[in-house]
Amino acid sequence: MSSPDFRIALAGNPNCGKTALFNALTGSRQKVGNYPGVTVERVEGSTQTKSGLHIKLLDLPGTYSLDAQTPDELITQEVLLGLRNEEPRPTAVIAVADATNLERTLGLVLEIQALGIPMILALNMMDLARSRGSIIDLEVLSASLGIPIVPTVATRSEGLEPLLQRLEELHLRNELDQGNRLDQEETKDFPWVRSSPQVIRERFAKIDEILHRSIKKAPSPMVWTDRIDYLVLHPVWGTLLLAGILALLFQTIFTWASIPMDWIENGIGALGGLIRNQMVDGPLRSLLVDGVIGGVGSMLIFLPQILFLFLFLLILEDSGYMARAAFLMDRLMGKFGLHGRAFIPLLSSFACSIPGIMATRTIENRRDRLITILISPLITCSARLPVYSLLIAAFIPNHVLWGPFRLQGTVMFLLYLSGIVAALLVAVFLKKSVFPGPTPPLMLELPTYKWPSVHNILHGLVERASIFVRRAGTVILGLSIVLWFLASYPKAPSSLEIPARPEITYSYAGQIGHALEPLVRPIGFNWQIAIALIPGFAARETMIGALGTVYALEDKDSGVHELLASQISKSWSVATGMSLLVWYILSCQCASTLAVTRRETNSWKWPGVMLGYMTALAYAASFIVYNLLRYWGYG
Amino acid sequence: MRPMGLGEIPTGSFAQIVSIEGDAGRLLLMGLLEGALVQVVHQAPFGGDPIAVRVRGTLIALRRGEANFVKVVPHVVA
């Protein structure tokens, strides 16, 4: 009976509870995608009214105005103006406004109203407005704006029924109108111009005039937010608190997440073992166990880290702290051309650059976000640790340097430090060369503190986890199969009873390794290393297993690590070992990182840039280190 | 009294906005309007930049350089 496309867009300021309202309306019926050609996320959902009217809802990026400044805001502007080809102009808009701060949030409402789209105003956070003693005359406000108003408390799902009822009324009126109007196509376009300062001033004057009539009592000042802020934004205590929160975050994703990560690792190992036992040996078994389970498993292991990190991020964002952290760190990060908000993604990258890159979505400016994404794999992640340990054990003597400090531990610290220094230098370079131009303004609202809503946080966690598993997982699945094929085929000639050389040397990976050898000889790598780099591309730590295979060490042996360390300390020079260490600090030996970058930037260009610049950087640095050490007699 | 930049007044003090210079769009949209009363409430560590100002019931963080486009005169609270 009804037209299939009753499309409603939700629009509102940042921090007005728009997404909470969207979640409350749509529940789990959501689809997360990307707007074509941009890195902006598109979230769509659906709901049904009591009488069975099907409604499609689009959660537009939060904005203070239709005068777009960022790519996200531009999407909101273009969708509402009907300028995006793939996105039909919404039939109506639910404007969401923070009831505790109508002075500012009504500006966008007036702008959208001027576009002539039918709209409903959801006055959200009514509970907070009431508890702060605010009295709003909704009838007067509605009449002066000329917009129907529904009070809501999105975090407690209050006001949804009346909102849906309003939408139904709007739909009926819309159907009637459409019957009477035949020139709809022609009226689609209308002029829109950027607001001049004078227009903005007049808009605010109009808001003041409307609020003067409709607000019986203004909300009392945010006493608690002020009190908390004197601590949280204090130059000394605030900085210490931030350091404490970050230490806890680091502890969580580095140490506590390792417990569920072990479960997943064991589970994947058990699954692989089960298939190994149940199936006859053959290409299919090898594909399933070594290719699919091994490859996807190496990525799924990071799921606990991602969940813990996003639990933190969502709580920090929902409570209003994240903007404060950006405020505290802006100056320090700004020295390296980074945004204050880049701090937490970069810190997360110490655990793994995958959650780090996913966390950059809190950075609104596209250039700032891209710089942060591009440098985050330079931060030493936990997957490099096993490789560092192996090479340090093989090549660095464990002298006592001073007091409790030993040479091996100091080298480990220097490796971490090198990663940080490299990341910051690349950030400065990118800011100066690739992304020149004036630094975008900070201009950040510090919202009132709120208790994070459990529902919203759970929703966010499930959403992030499923995006990670589905999107990045499919790319990894494909890459793992390719890498498995390269490392498994062709087989050793069957005429030999016992292969004279390890299996892998006959494979394409082996051939590529041999072919690569002249290329990597200048940086001191032998063909064994070159071969191990290929499966090591699926995940950094798998290089150790691959080296074990190349040196024909018995796998599944707890002593394989020590065996390998003593083997390579005998067959490699110190210069080669150090060159490989430097390579591991700087190179992009991680297909998962590239897959996530592809997903987050919505283009193959940026993972390409990342792989290219990191490989060049790693090659140059390894070359210098190798030749210096040889010159000093360590060759 | 001669107007000065919003980034130049001491933390904790109140001021009234006289004019907005430069690309005023974004500043205006955040509610930094001529005639509005502002208070510089906080300053960040590492050199006291950025600052947080309260205007129209909202707390806004901005760098001192950006804030200086907003010209103010000190306001003494009665």
B35 touches chain A (CB under 8 A): no
Mutation to test the A interface, candidates B29, B38, B66, most A Cβ within 10 Å: B29
pLDDT at A381: 84
Q: Where are the alpha helices (DSSP H) in A13-58?
A: 18-26
User: Could you say which residues from 11 to 30 on chain B have a Cβ atom under 8 Å away from some Cβ of chain A?
Assistant: 20, 24-30
pLDDT band at A160 (very low <50, low <70, confident <90, very high): very high
Phi then psi for A106, rounded to 5 degrees?
-75, -15
Partners of A9 in beta bridges? A58, A93
Whether residue A490 is preceded by a cis peptide bond, meaning omega within 30 degrees of 0, is: yes
Please give the average per-residue pLDDT across A355-380, as a whole number: 87
Question: Whole-structure pTM over 0.90, yes or no?
Answer: no
pLDDT at A628: 95
Apex A506 CA angle, A501 and A508, nearest 5: 150
DSSP-derived secondary structure for A100-168: GGHHHHHHHHHHHHHTT--EEEEEE-HHHHHHTT-EE-HHHHHHHHTS-EEE-BGGGTBTHHHHHHHHH
pLDDT band at A186 (very low <50, low <70, confident <90, very high): very low
CA distances for A207 relative to A97, A101, A130, A594, B31, angstroms: 13, 12, 20, 48, 11
Which residue is closest to B35 within chain A, CA to CA?
Answer: A201
Do B31 and A323 lie within an 8 Å CB cutoff?
no
pLDDT tens for chain B, 78 residues long, are: 789 999 999 999 999 999 998 777 778 888 898 899 999 999 998 888 899 999 988 899 999 988 999 999 998 765
**Domains along the sequence of chain B with CATH:** 4-75 (2.30.30.90)
Mutation to test the B interface, candidates A104, A232, A237, A449, most B Cβ within 10 Å: A104
pLDDT at A183: 45
DSSP-derived secondary structure for A258-276: HHHHHHHHHHHHHHHHHHH
User: Could you say which residues from 42 to 71 on chain B have a Cβ atom under 8 Å away from some Cβ of chain A?
Assistant: 42-50, 52, 56-63, 66
Instruction: Using the predicted structure, report yes or no on whether residue A330 has a pLDDT greater than 50.
Output: yes
CA distances for A605 relative to A37, A309, A475, A597, A599, angstroms: 12, 27, 15, 10, 11
- Residue among A201, A441, A447 whose CB faces B33 most closely: A201
- Residue among A233, A328, A444 whose CB faces B60 most closely: A444
Higher pLDDT: A485 or A94? It is A94
Name A81's Cβ contacts closer than 8 Å, sequence gap at least 6.
A89, A115, A192
pLDDT at A180: 56
Other Cβ atoms closer than 10 A to B19: 11
Instruction: Using the predicted structure, report yes or no on whether residue A2 has a pLDDT greater than 60.
Output: no
